[in-house]
Structure 1
Amino acid sequence: MASITIVGGGTAGWMTAVLLNQAYNKFGNTVSIQLVESPDVDIVGVGEATVPAIKDFLQAVGIDEAEFIKSTNATIKNGILFKNWCAPTEEGEVHQYMHPFDQERVEKRLDVATSWLLSSRNKSYDDSVSIAKALSDKNLTPKVQQSKSFQSIVPYSYHLDARLFGQFLRKHAIARGVTRVEAHVNNVVAKEGKIVSLSTDKGEITSDLFIDCTGFRALLLSKLEEQENWHSYSDVLLCDKAVTIQTENDTSYAPNPYTISHALSAGWSWKIDLQNRSGNGYVYSSRHISPEQAELEFRKHLGLDEQTKFNHIDMHVGRRRQQWIGNCVAVGLSSGFIEPLESTGLHLIYLAARQFVLHNNFSKTQQSTRDNYNKTMNDTYDELKDFIVLHYVLSDRTDSEFWRDIPKTLDGCELLKSRLSVWKHKVCEYFDVSNSTSHMFSDVSYRYILYGMNYFPELDIPFVEGEFDDVFAYIENRQQQACHHTLSHKEYLNATVHGQSGFVSVSMK
């Protein structure tokens, strides 16, 4: 395999290019890697919230954290704050909980979740076991003054400008030997189960391997599909469209170090704060509301006037059954899409590119290896699909047709249905979900959703009243220490982007 051609820029194409180049050409030009992107094709430009695995990618390809934050208007993300996903309380309070990236593991007689379930529960689960939640409440980061690049007291991720991230990666890749070809692909020539060449407005392109990053069109892989290759999730994930808008922030605005997910009448909205603006979107079901109705509802939700223009996006929710066929691999939207509720988009790109490197054996790659790659990616998508469905089916909302239809979707998720039956009588623990292929959401994440949505197991375990008070007193002390020693979000961004420091040197005890 002397050459690899990636078709499609944006985050999918350039993340793949950077990772493959690091894997194959770190110590010399072993493989010729080129990326073809068309000036006539716009990128979707969403996927601006991430999960902590993005740091693994950035470190693996040698990107400096400060440079990345400066170049992409990035901010810190401690987790996701969910609002209005259950009916209001009897007092009229809006339901909310957070899914942070950490959990204090304080083992006494039982694990921390069981300890909480058997305790007085005078605080919510996220408030009781998470340092990141305590930091978020005070607009703090998990960084202390001495924190080095990518280091922190608890896990974190980022919000970023997707377009700027693509441009940043493009610059990084080209500086390290990746060739950029600005051309429009007019035709894909395939023969005997392989892509032979691409016809472009700049001439013909041949290659040993092709990576399809052309988005929902899957321009390359679709040429090799001999039978129906699309596995839809539309029966269980009802949201299939989005209306989006970017709003500028005042210079005095302090960005939230978390994503906000606010449930609406036919789906949910996101709010992602960057350094200079906020990204906003309403993901909704076209079976329950029209684009015009969705835009009107979202406009009212944001408090924007009638002159404001929104963008509308169609989403194809599902995955391809075979994402590697012959000499072509689909990465990004061309391989599949799960609605952005838990910020899985960029992680799926990283995972696909990384799995390809692990499976690719150059000229000796066997079909059994391709089959294993496809199974790994399919299992990943299916697992993430179930995790997203979990958020919906635990809701007790009945105030719209959308929310009344939601419980039916559980029938299409047999594994999740079985797990929920088990979790009604025991805590969700590591071994319940340890067969994960995505390595993204463990029992820690499942617990935040289950207990944040008031799905508690009925435990009949003997305990003594007040037995676990010292556990949560210890965690509360840890939370207080963290809030005392960490940097505020705005202070950290100013220090990182503008070099404005002046903090007192402190450390966690």
Structure 2
Amino acid sequence: MSERIEDVTVVGGGDSGLLAALALQRMNPGLDVSVVDDFGQPVPQVGKSTFLAIQQILHDSLGIDERSFVEAVKPVWKASVYFRDWCGNEPFHYPFDQSRKFPNPEERDTNEAFYFYYSELHDSEAHQSKCEQLVAQGKSPWYFSPREGGARKYDNVAYHLNTERFNEFLRDLCLDRGIRLIDDEVVTVDVADDRIRRLRSRNRAYEADLYVDATGFSRVLRGEQTDDFREFDLPLDAALNARSEIDLADVVPATVVETGEAGWFWQIDTYDNRDRGYVYASDYVSEAAAREEFVAHCEGIDADDVVKYEFDSGYHERAWVENCVAVGNAEGFVEPLQSTGLTANAKASVTLATLLSGHGRVADDAVRERYNAWVRETWESIYDFISVHYAYADGDTEFWEDAQSVELSRRTELLIEAFDRTGFDAHVDPTMGHPEIDDPLFFQPLDFYALIHHMGATSAFYESHDFEIDDETRRAVERNYGSIREDVADHYDHREFYHGALGQH
């Protein structure tokens, strides 16, 4: 069935719903967009951490002025995921500028620099990218440079967000852009043959050409439709969350990860507090035991303030069914590790809006399937990225022993095999040429190789050949890292930025 979309009703006023409304309206001028939700309910506290692409999505795709955003939302800039303790490995980063640690592949004799990275990788104090130095020195990406015309920012960073500030900002932006916010609660969904006819609250009915389900795991609209749910082979299904006070000068500009008995802990510093969490598998530990472990691990949190969330890992194989698109957790979720959720869902909304715009807002089966294929590919690629963390995990609890048997996709297996055979390779994607793999990578192969090497993967290519690092290469690399340390020392920390530098620039 084909139809032209003239009006859209988004159900759910959380971050995913508001971002979807903003994307649809911005890419499709003239589209009538409204958001229905009980806006009196408190904003959920989880989901504060983002991935690198969030800046491009917010400030380019959605046209959100960066200064206005910073002044209102007061983000903390995130430079990496810092694995302070991952199954007994030495501490390591997954920084947003990982690729800058590798040589230009078009330079001569790059193998020496690749081998230097391989053999010296765990000397984390000496060999840190700019993002890693921002974390080590507790700095923001902002600095002042008269030569460059004033305040400047290192762009390879993401955000830590206070969800209340962020959601309030998005609501105000929706109203400024002519998107209606309707304070109401949908209680009935009228459906015939998977097609939504109307939505009903206690007082009125809503009809639209396209409905967007942004109701999170409750899936108010999607739950009334028929669609297969692809479950991922990940045992984690619950999270505990609490906050403690923090001074801006003590902000760690990274999502900090540490291992627990039946899962892992997070630390996400925001402008207002230090957010702590424990993601765990309820099949391996009781809620009471998880709470006890969480409170003992996290200094400064009150046991009475701990909130529990539950989630399922997987996605609906058709994000767009008939005249309803599911976004955010209503469509799918992997798990919080590596902070892919909010950013991936925002990207999905931008993709949906762009696809509609490029097809004259005509929604037919071909357009729906193209979007659904993109969403499926994205979820599968994110799963590949997350699953390898568990495949290389180690531990003496039942959870961690079982976690190592996580299912790996054929693409992940090919990447692991390629690293073993040829080490770091900037030229070839080893998954190309395999007809069973047709979805794009969520990550770059070099970043993947660095991640698994941090977690213990070795390469027979480097181990079986007699490579040496000449003094000139070593000096050049060390000069580079020394220069990075000096540059970052001149950056503002978050207190300096918000209590002085922001007002001056």
Common fold: TM-score over 0.5 = yes
| Greater Cα offset, 134-143 or 334-343 | 134-143
How is 1:24-103 mapped onto 2 (pairs within 5 angstroms)? 24-25=28-29, 30-39=30-39, 43-60=43-60, 61-87=62-88, 95-103=90-98
String of CA shifts for 1:422-461, please: whole Å, max 9, x gaps: 3222225454378796775223432332122121212245
Calculate the TM-score normalised by the size of structure 2: 0.88
Residue of structure 2 equivalent to 1:401: 398
| Counterparts in 2 of 1:428 and 1:318: CA distance versus 1, 3 Å | farther
The answer as to whether partners of 2:129 and 2:481 remain within 8 angstroms in 1 is no
From 283, 287, 298, the equivalent of 1:302 is 298
- 1:209–1:328: 8 Å Cα contact kept in structure 2? yes
Q: Which runs of 4+ in 1 moved over 6 A?
A: 147-150, 433-436
Instruction: In structure 2, give the amino acid aligned to 1:352.
Output: A
Q: Which stretch shifts more, 78-87 or 107-116?
A: 107-116
C-alpha separation in 2, matches of 1:294 and 1:127:
37
Corresponding position of 1:448: 450
CA distances 1:346-371 after superposition (whole Å, capped 9, x unpaired): 11221211111232235533312211
Residue equivalent to 1:506: none
Q: Cα 1:420–1:106, aligned 2, differ >3 Å: closer, same or farther?
A: closer
Give the Cα separation in 1 of the matches to 2:10 and 2:150: 30
For 2:418 and 2:135, locate their aligned partners in 1 and report how far apart those are by CA, in whole Å: 32
Task: Tell me, in whole angstroms, the C-alpha distance in 1 between the residues paired with 2:160 and 2:189.
Answer: 36
Q: Is the 8 A contact 1:125 1:451 kept in 2?
A: no
Shift, 1:224, TM fit: 2.6
**Secondary structure of the residue that 2:304 maps to in structure 1?**
coil
Aligned partner of residue 139 in structure 1, secondary structure: coil
1:404-443 superposed matches below 5 A: 404-410=401-407, 412-430=408-426, 431-432=428-429, 440-443=442-445
Distance 1:124 1:334, change over 3 A: same
Aligned twin of 1:115 = 115
| Equivalent AA in structure 1 for residue 136 of structure 2 | D
User: What amino acid is aligned across from residue 158 of structure 1 in structure 2?
Assistant: Y
2:138 is aligned with 1:139: yes
Q: 1:388 to 1:122 in 2, by over 3 A?
A: closer
Aligned-partner SS, 2:342: helix
Instruction: Name the amino acid aligned to 1:469.
Output: R
What is the deviation of 1:321?
0.7
Matched, 1:10 2:14: yes
Q: Which residue of 270, 275, 282 maps to 2:266? A: 270
Contact 2:138 2:252 in 1 (8 A): yes
| Structure 1 residues 148 and 369, CA gap change in structure 2 (3 angstroms) | farther
Partner SS for 2:156? coil
Assess, with a 3 A threshold, how the Cα gap between structure 1 residues 306 and 212 changes in structure 2: closer, same or farther.
Answer: closer
Report what 2:237 is aligned to. Answer: 240
Aligned residue type for 2:71: K
Query: Does structure 2 retain, via aligned residues, the 8 Å contact 1:78–1:258?
Result: yes
The normalised TM-score by structure 1 is 0.87
Identity %: 24
- Which ranges in structure 1 are unaligned for 5 or more consecutive residues? 89-94, 502-509
Cα–Cα, structure 1 residues 371 and 173, in superposed 2: closer, same or farther, change >3 Å? same
Matched letter for residue 52 of structure 1: L
Tell me, yes or no, if the aligned pair for 1:9 and 1:35 is still in contact at 8 Å.
yes
- List gaps (5 residues or longer) in structure 2: 433-437
Tell whether the 8 Å contact from 1:50 to 1:158 is kept in structure 2 after alignment: yes
What is the alpha-carbon distance in structure 1 between the residues aligned to residue 71 and residue 440 of structure 2?
A: 29
Structure 1 residues 331 and 496 mapped into 2: Cα distance closer, same or farther (>3 Å)? farther
User: What is the CA distance between 1:489 and its match in structure 2?
Assistant: 3.2
Q: CA RMSD in A?
A: 2.6
Change (3 A) 1:150 1:336: farther
Deviations 1:49-96 (A, max 9, x none): 1112111122132322232233223111111110221326xxxxxx31
Query: Which whole-Å CA distance do the structure 2 matches of 1:252 and 1:143 have between them?
Result: 15
| C-alpha displacement of 1:465 | 4.0
Letter in 1 for 2:306: F
Provide the rounded CA distance (Å) in 2 between the counterparts of 1:126 and 1:54.
28
1:164 matches 2:159? no
**Separation in structure 2 between the aligned mates of residue 76 and residue 112 of structure 1, nearest angstrom:** 33
User: How far 1:41 moved relative to its partner?
Assistant: 5.4
Residues 166/306 of structure 1: CA separation in 2 closer, same or farther (3 Å cut): closer
Amino acid at match of 2:324: C
Cα distance in structure 1, aligned partners of 2:46 and 2:192: 34
Deviation at 1:339, TM superposition (A): 0.8
Q: Which moved more, 1:401-410 or 1:430-439?
A: 430-439
Question: Could you tell me which amino acid in structure 2 is paired with residue 54 of structure 1?
Answer: I
Q: Is 1:330–2:331 an aligned residue pair?
A: no
**CA contact under 8 A between 1:10 and 1:163: conserved in structure 2?**
no
Alignment check: 8 A CA contact 1:100 1:132 kept: yes
How many residue pairs align between the two structures?
482
Mean CA deviation greater in 454-463 or 379-388: 454-463
> How big is the shift at 1:145?
1.1
Deviations 1:271-330 (A, max 9, x none): 111112011110000111011111000000013577533101111111001110111111
What is the distance in 2 between the residues matched to 1:14 and 1:496? 30
Q: Does 1:286 align with 2:287?
A: no
Instruction: Give me the whole-angstrom Cα distance separating, in 2, the residues matched to 1:12 and 1:220.
Output: 15
